[in-house]
Chains A and B, each alone.
Chain A
Amino acid sequence: MVEHHHTRRQILQRAGGTAVGLTSLGALLSACGSSESGNASTAGGSDAGDAIKVGVLFSLSGNLSIAETSMKNATMLAIEELNARGGVGGRKLEPVVEDYASDFSVVVQKARKLVEQDRVAAVIGCYASASRKAVLPVFESNDAVLLYPTFYEGLECSTNVIYTSLVAAQHLTDTANWMVENAGKKIYMVGSDYVGPQTYNAIVKKLVEERGATVVENRFFPLDQTEFGSALSAIRAAKPDLIWNTIVGAGIPAFMKQYQAAGFTPDTTPIFSGICTEQELAAVGGKAAKGHYFPSSYFMTTDTPDNSSFIQRYQAKFGSDQPTNMPMQASYTSAYLLAAAIEKAGDATPQAILEAFPGVSATAPGEGTVTVQDNHHTTHTVSLGKANDRALYDVIERFSPREPDPFPAGVVPASKIPTCPRRETS
């Protein structure tokens, strides 16, 4: 696993190097473009009436568009609401939407366009870790701001990124403790074979072993695998008390449906998933989903006035059948966090915004107050959801607010824990 991670990092560094090379070339090429926009702003006057440009960078087409289109929508809803109440410091927010088409080279182009050409104050966007890693050099070399609005594995704290959703250790710690206490001490782990699920599983393995549980197996599958019969035979033979699952995307419905078809029931062997929002669960179907668990900082079923209002406003704008989920709520909250940072800074330059971010809070629908910390991650309140027969999660336990820890001790060697934030690319 270390070997694998190392190789991956080398590849990423190489990709980063190429991107930096392109960036400096791009700086020359776009010099004329930027002077034009400079003239335009002088002509229009640079008083408080100017709109603040906010980049909105998601996949609106391709594989990732199902999740990211709804994240874009939630961001746009928040921007519209902020403008309706008079904007930020008297200035309207002007969204600049870019579709990176689920392509991790296009995302670099689009990020450069937003940062270097449109000169946005900040960008809200990216979803898969691969997209965030790809644009890191763009944001760091331009000293720009990215708000990354989804849960992720951690092991990063860029000077130029504000991580507005959950980071793995913060996400999973209370659930790992809960499942050992309530579901059993013999654990079988499965996951998709890449850095995210491997990190999640390493963190959970450490947490449950500290609580006296045993991990009988930690099994990874190729990303595109949808045939899990062999693993299910092995699980049957191992007779675990519970399954810890970080299979992602298209594998989730296949795994959970095959699990149910193979005769496993959540009463005897529940599945605790680390990466399975309501969006994936819908394709599992209520019959196979019911009784399994997922921890999150947001559930659509949360019955609070602010969440009902959030769902109602979202559905009024984007369709009454549209579900809400955690990355959407984090995208929505990101726009409010950005507005609060700009208000605190009294200025909409990226540098002022970055400086202002630590300590900034916003109210996240259905969750409560979230606050950006010095390490550029955000405090969150995690709840444990149990799926019902409509393939939605009912909250069965609400944990205490938890500080973000992107480099959990015991998973990351003490000598490798950096001072956050730090530059991730050279």
Chain B
Amino acid sequence: MLVQIVAQGLSVGAVLALSALGLTVIYGVMGVVNLAHGEFVMLGAYAMVLLSGPLGPWAAIALTPLIVGAIGLAVDRSLIRWLYHDPVKSMLGTFGLAIAIRQLVLIAEGPGLRYVPLPLSGSVSLLGESFPWWRLALIVFALVVGVGVALWLARSRTGLMVRTTTVDAEVAGALGMNVSRVNALAFALGTALAGLAGALVAPLASVHPNMGVSYLVGAFLVVILAGLGSIRNALVWAAAVGLVTAAVAVPADDVLAQVVVWSGALAIVALRRQTLVASRV
């Protein structure tokens, strides 16, 4: 039972982490609360639907973040850049964007549920309990991507520029950084991460134009607990939420698990009495 709870909890946490990472990067850098984030997850899932047939699942997973990131870049240049550092405006703008993306996909691909094959089938035996390979792969992906993005921000030159812009965009500009380009890059990165999350969950999820909302809700839960803008905290809290969910849902009930997780989150936020925003990335 314990092994099942931990494995299941981490796999739920992995999906939460993958969808929360992009949301937190975008908020951290440009102060945009991206309510269309779930739709970028959905776009990633559809890229997987369309590409995994002709190219195979692995090439599709590799290409999806590039495609969704490119869409994100175009959206940033045409819409998001007018909404920087204004949470309310950005919420309204991205809420509208979410509707537009959903409807475009609905028009192009229809409302039906879509099929994505499993890249890895079968199960692995963990301490006497069997566990699906693909769920294990999700956990590994979430860790690699999360740690990768955190390291890139911490160690690379571009990461330094992103962090500088996060702290003070004006000073960053005065120091000769191309703030506009850094912002565009961050939005493209955030949406690419959402796309990757979509591609990775598609084989186990149900793919349809309205699927994004539940990923947005999950991502927000993690980001509220972790503080917007913090990658390390997002990973930790995603795992925590996943483990609590599984600890209730495996022995008892999924509805009860939702009640426990959300009332827990509410209590933590109330006790903490601080703003959503983390002080550092």
Contacts and interface: CB of A to CB of B under 8 A. Distances in A.
A219 B4 CA distance: 18
A258 interface: yes
Most buried by A among B117, B122, B123, B204: B204
A302 to B, nearest CB: 23
A79 B258 CA distance: 47
B275 interface: no
B245 interface: yes
Interface string A230-269: 1101101100000000000011111001101111000000
A62 B208 CA distance: 12
Interface stretch (B7-15, B19-27, B83-91, B167-175): B7-15
B135 interface: yes
Contact of B115 (A219, A236, A253, A260): A253
Contact of A282 (B1, B113, B118, B253): B113
Given A226-B205, A227-B12, A251-B206, A261 B257 contact: no
Interface in B224-253: 245-246, 249-251, 253
Given A233-B5, A283-B114, A219 B253 contact: yes
A252 B206 contact: yes
A250 B114 CA distance: 10
Ordered nearest first, which 6 A-B pairs have the shortest CB separation? A230-B249, A283-B113, A233-B4, A250-B206, A261-B132, A263-B123
B130 interface: yes
Question: How many B residues are at the interface, by size bracket?
Answer: 35 or more
Contacts, number: 108
Contact of A283 (B115, B118, B134): B115
B113 A285 contact: no
Contact of B122 (A66, A234, A263): A263
B211 interface: yes
B255 interface: yes
Given A63-B111, A66-B112, A237-B1, A226 B254 contact: no
Nearest to B125: A263
Given A250-B208, A263-B123, A287-B117, A66 B111 contact: yes
Interface string A147-178: 00000000000000000000000000000000
Interface string A42-68: 000000000000000000001101100
A373 interface: no
Interface in A291-323: none
12 contacts: A62-B111, A219-B254, A229-B11, A229-B246, A251-B206, A258-B204, A260-B121, A261-B121, A261-B132, A261-B204, A280-B113, A283-B206
A192 to B, nearest CB: 11
Interface in A262-288: 262-263, 279-280, 282-285, 287
A279 B206 CA distance: 13
B214 A224 contact: yes
Contacts of B130: 236, 262-263
A247 B117 CA distance: 21
B255 A221 contact: yes
Given A229-B11, A261-B118, A282-B113, A234 B250 contact: yes
A103 interface: no
A399 interface: no
A142 interface: no
A90 interface: no
Interface residues of A, number: 38
A222 interface: yes
Contacts of A104: none
Given A254-B205, A263-B130, A229 B111 contact: no
B41 to A, nearest CB: 12
Contacts of A221: 254-255
Most buried by B among A62, A261, A280: A261
A56 B114 CA distance: 28
B15 A254 contact: no
B82 to A, nearest CB: 30
B207 interface: yes
B203 interface: yes
A225 B111 contact: no
Contacts of A225: 254
Nearest to B11: A229
Contacts of B148: none
B132 A285 contact: no
B264 interface: no
Contacts of A261: 118, 121, 123, 132-135, 203-204
A230 B254 contact: yes
A287 B249 CA distance: 27
B110 interface: yes
A258 B123 CA distance: 11
A193 interface: yes
Contact of B250 (A230, A257, A279, A287): A230
Nearest to B3: A233
A226 B132 contact: no
Contacts of B115: 253, 282-285
Given A230-B245, A263-B123, A283-B114, A193 B132 contact: no
Contacts of B4: 233, 236-237
Contacts of A62: 111
Interface string B126-156: 0000101111000000000000000000000
